[in-house]
Amino acid sequence: MADNSQSSTAAGASDGAPGPSEREVDLKLDHYFMNKAVQNAKDSHDPKTKVGACIVNQEKKVVGVGHNKMPNGCEDKGLPWGNDDDDPLNNKYVYVCHAELNAIVDSRGHDLKGCSLYTTLYPCNESSKIIIQSGITEVIYLFNKYEDDTETKASKKMLELAGVQTRMYNNEDKKLEIDFTVQ
Ligand SMILES: [Zn+2]
């Protein structure tokens, strides 16, 4: 008998799929893939928020990587990286392609059904839409610094409803670090 009173995050998806805690997490591989996401983040030209992502298939092979960047062909052509101008056209938000989008596009040709996505930052709502539509079923994140933002709450809601498992990367040894605030 199903116990619907339990939260899907604690009990796994309602369809009976194993939750992250029940899966065997290979810590070495987990570190390898998150480190790949971190290394990709370093390639971002965003002076404030560098984000990296790495998609891994069920055979534990990397099938796509990405970092937040301006659209192809638009890099270094004067699009703004700032975020506090009164005119939204002078802020980065309307232009930048997030790491998750770039990693999914980078995986061109691969079936992403059942893949895992490692990302240095909990996905925003727009990225979560793309993650869900691509068939990715697990998201592992390093930080969730915008946890209280509406976008992140919407993101969490959608990922849960869609049955995408999420878990925070175990970074207790603090081996992986990203400086979000270099300016
Ligand atoms: Zn995003």
Residue tagged active-site, from 59, 75, 100, 147:
100
pLDDT digits (tens, 9 = 90+) for 130-172: 999 999 999 999 999 999 999 999 999 999 999 999 999 988 8
* More confident of the two residues 33 and 14: 33
What's the 130 CA to ligand 1 centre distance in angstroms? 9
What's the 14 CA to ligand 1 centre distance in angstroms? 26
Active site residue 100: yes
pLDDT digits (tens, 9 = 90+) for 62-121: 999 999 999 999 988 999 999 999 999 999 999 999 999 999 999 998 999 999 999 999
Give the pLDDT mean for 34-54.
95
- The per-residue pLDDT for 140 is 98
Return the H-helix or E-strand segment holding 18.
none
- Tokens found for residue 69: 């960047």
As residues whose CB is below 5 A from the ion ligand 1, the structure lists 98, 124, 127
- Predicted TM-score (pTM) of the model is 0.83
What's the 151 CA to ligand 1 centre distance in angstroms? 9
Sign of CA dihedral 148, 151, 154, 160: negative
Task: Answer for the pair 30, 140: CB distance below 8 angstroms, yes or no.
Answer: yes
What's the 124 CA to ligand 1 centre distance in angstroms? 4
